[in-house]
Chain A
Amino acid sequence: MKFHISKRDALPWQKSLFVHVVAILLAVGLIAVLCMTLTGQDPLSVFESIFSGAFGTTRRSWVTLQELSIMLIIALALTPAFKMQFWNIGGEGQVLIGSLTAASCMITLGDKLPNAAVIIIMIIASIAAGAFWGFVPALFKALWNTNETLSTLMMNYIATQLVAFFTIVWEVPKGSGKIGIINSDTMAGWLPQIVNQHFLPIVVALLCTASLFVYLKYTKHGYEITVVGESQNTARYVGIKVEKVVIRTMLLSGGMCGLAGLLLTGGINHTVTTTIAGGMGFTAVMVSWLAKFNPITMVFTSLLIVFMDRGASEVATSCGLNESFSDIMTGIILFFIIGCEFFIRYKINRTKKSGKEA
């Protein structure tokens, strides 16, 4: 039997959804088998504890939603860059540098300025710092076509070491190797709590989703990003300044990552560590890609990833296993979804006789 592969036209969304659901079900099935062999429990009870890990109590649901919103903001931040085929793997560093800037404002200005002023400076400074971290690789790309995947990757580790450096500069108490909760007595620079401490990131994430959707779909900037992503030559031909678009989009991308960092430090953790972003800068790449760079779909893909992640750590702790189990589960689901894209983009034609080949 011979067969050949050809590209197909856009699949109707119902069919494409069906393929995705099948892929996720297959992945979940494989995970169930894995769980059974490793823990000896029946798969149903494993899935029960996954669900209870993510939404079992009110508190857990709030934390899940909060993690979901941070993940969503970072994924949204990377999206405009990806849409113009600029592989910004530097989300992690951009988030970290935003966190660090927020923390430095809290530490150095906390007792000198009124709280409102500190918070305003924090917001501006963190977003600017994230934007700067995105600007550097974008500038190299625009000027000399430097490979952005690798330069943004390096910027991550430069940011990590910067955080490590300042952690020791500001460590409390000396020699502990961590900063601890900043301004725990005065709460200076802590972002205001609406409803509860988990609510603010959720609101910000919703605002970001809506505005990015509009930005990408209905503005001239969004159009330019799409054209640059499709073909740089076409973009030049119609008079779009590609370099300008690259730099502008990366400023936006880095700035939004900086915002996520601000929320992590100012709103949630009130401290900064080298692992505060927790690999979300990398996971967000996959979240954004899974959603086909559509901000609305991204809400669901980040929910999927965060849900699995929190659920799996619950399974792991209840069975006395290592919590990295969640990374394995996330990996398996990703592999299946990555693989199923093929069946959406291409079709396999059987050719019975030679001579019929395309």
Chain B
Amino acid sequence: MFNFVAFIPTAVQQGIPLLYGSTGEILTQKSGNLNLGIPGVMYVGGICGVIGSFIYENHATGALNPFLAIMIPMVCSLLGSLLMGLLYCFLTVTLRANQNVTGLAMTTFGVGFGNFFGGSLIKISKLDVPSITLTKTSAFFSKSLPFAGKLGWFGKIFLSYGFLAYLSIVIALIMAFVFKHTRTGLHLRAVGENPATADAAGINVTKYKYVATCLGCMIAGLGGLYYVMDYASGVWSNDAFGDRGWLAIALVIFTLWKPDLSIFASILFGGLYVLYLYLPTNMAHMEYTELYKMIPYIITLLVLVFTSVRNKRENQPPASLGTNYFREER
């Protein structure tokens, strides 16, 4: 019998980084910026948190202060991804550079940045520790509600996660609300659909693009932080984050730019990502696990094709996605 009680929490834990990445990218894309730098941003978000807490753990005397142990990595992570977001905006919005190229350069830089500091942090900081293992900080991040263990399967499926997991769901819900029901959301969507019209209506296109993209990057960066601090129990290993950043971008299409839908879709993708571990595998045919890992990408491709075939207006990407706005060029 398929073990759901064990499977669902793993799927959720796998899904949360994807949820952060995809909500961040949805916000960015709604402003018309196709940020292919999200995989890099998530690495930067993760490693900045690691650097912050590494310094704190190794310099703090006595027991860690829970508040500082959580806030220092959070702030470092948010700052790191904010800087990446500002860089992207400066290049594409202010200097009107090509978005695809800028995004890919950010991914190269971000992944390199993460792996570089992951591999060299100990040498640079001249501390005598064998590896980057932030178990103490991680304990604060993955602390679940005290009574979660007593509630059996219910507690395990719904209450067994660290606070960042719940934060991601709250962010997604708030974002869905803002898009649908507020003036800010309406303006943002107008900027993404047709910046010239939005500009004519008195909306500050540059401001909306900057704020949306930077916030988007900060949210995505938290996904990297969640991955190291909670899922990986504070152990940074190079390239462990893998292609999750690209999967997050795939999720944006899969969910048709809807953050509330992304909550379920992320968990579904997270499940597909680890499904192979739970399927009965014949030890003589380990190769099929690799085919199972292909499923998320094939599904995304099919959804992408399917939505373009149906061509329904509300399911389309923001009309100006990938193009820069230049007022004098209208």
Contact = CB atoms under 8 A, between A and B. Distances in A.
A42 B253 CA distance: 48
A145 B308 contact: yes
A338 B97 contact: yes
B328 A7 contact: yes
Contacts of A146: 304-305, 308
A341 B253 contact: no
Contacts of A151: 301, 304-305
A325 to B, nearest CB: 5
Given A157-B246, A168-B290, A321-B120, A89 B36 contact: yes
Nearest to B115: A324
A174 to B, nearest CB: 9
Given A154-B304, A324-B119, A283 B108 contact: yes
A151 B302 CA distance: 9
Nearest to A152: B301
Contacts of B308: 140, 144-147
A140 B305 contact: yes
A153 B246 contact: yes
Contact of A324 (B91, B112, B250): B112
Given A6-B328, A322-B119, A165 B305 contact: no
Interface in B96-151: 96-98, 100-102, 104-120, 123-124
Nearest to A320: B123
B292 to A, nearest CB: 9
B293 A331 contact: no
User: How big is the A interface, by class?
Assistant: 35 or more
A169 B249 CA distance: 30
B142 to A, nearest CB: 27
Given A89-B100, A342-B96, A322 B293 contact: no
In this complex, which of B97, B108, B249, B294 has the most chain A Cβ atoms within 10 angstroms of its Cβ? B108
A215 interface: no
Nearest to A165: B290
B97 A153 contact: no
Nearest to A326: B112
A165 B105 contact: no
B287 A157 contact: no
B304 A334 contact: no
B95 interface: yes
B305 to A, nearest CB: 5
A124 interface: no
Interface in B268-313: 286-288, 290-291, 293-294, 297-298, 300-301, 304-305, 308-309, 311
Contact of A149 (B100, B108, B288): B100
Question: Which of B116, B119, B253, B291 has its CB near the most chain A CB atoms (within 10 A)?
Answer: B116
Contacts of A69: none
Shortest 6 CB-CB distances between A and B: which pairs? A327-B112, A331-B109, A322-B119, A324-B115, A168-B287, A161-B294
11 contacts: A5-B328, A140-B308, A144-B308, A165-B287, A285-B101, A289-B101, A324-B111, A324-B119, A332-B109, A334-B101, A338-B102
Given A147-B253, A279-B108, A331-B110, 11 more contacts: A89-B104, A145-B308, A151-B304, A154-B297, A158-B301, A161-B291, A168-B286, A282-B108, A285-B100, A339-B90, A346-B96
